[in-house]
A and B are shown apart, each in its own frame.
Chain A
Amino acid sequence: MTDSAPSVDPCRGGIGVQAAGLPGGGLLRQQQASAPADLVAGLYQTHGLALVRTALMLVGDKPTAEDVVQDAFIGLYRAMPRLRSDDKALAYLRASVVNGCRSVHRARQRAFARPVQHSPTAWSAESAAMAREESRLAMQAVSRLPRRAREVLALRYYLDLSDAEIAAALGISRGSVSSTASRALAVLARELNGEL
Chain B
Amino acid sequence: MASHNVIAESKDVALVEVLDRVLDKGVVISGDLVISVAEVDLVYVGLKALISSVETMERLRGGPFVGPMQEPT
Is the A/B pair a real complex? no
Interface residues of A (CB under 8 A from B): none
